[in-house]
Amino acid sequence: MLQKMQKKTMPRVFMLCAFSAMLLINIFSVRISSIILMLTAGLISLIIFMVKKPAAKGGAGK
């Protein structure tokens, strides 16, 4: 996965945060449903997509 990942900072930060969260959940034996984890990840990526969406939707002259 690391080889195919974009060479930008943000994807690496997200991967590190996800890895850290999963490791901490496993270490502290927190019982969280995998469905909740998947829905949370989807919600976070939707929020990131909405924030990074380009503001200008017109041509160069608009």
Per residue of the chain (62 residues), what is the pLDDT tens digit? 667 766 777 777 877 888 888 888 888 887 888 788 788 888 888 888 888 776 556 555 55
Q: Answer whether 5's CB lies under 8 Å from 12's CB.
A: yes
Could you tell me the end-to-end alpha-carbon distance of the chain, in angstroms, rounded to an integer?
A: 39
Alpha helix locations (H) across 1-62? 9-27, 34-52
pTM of the model: 0.54
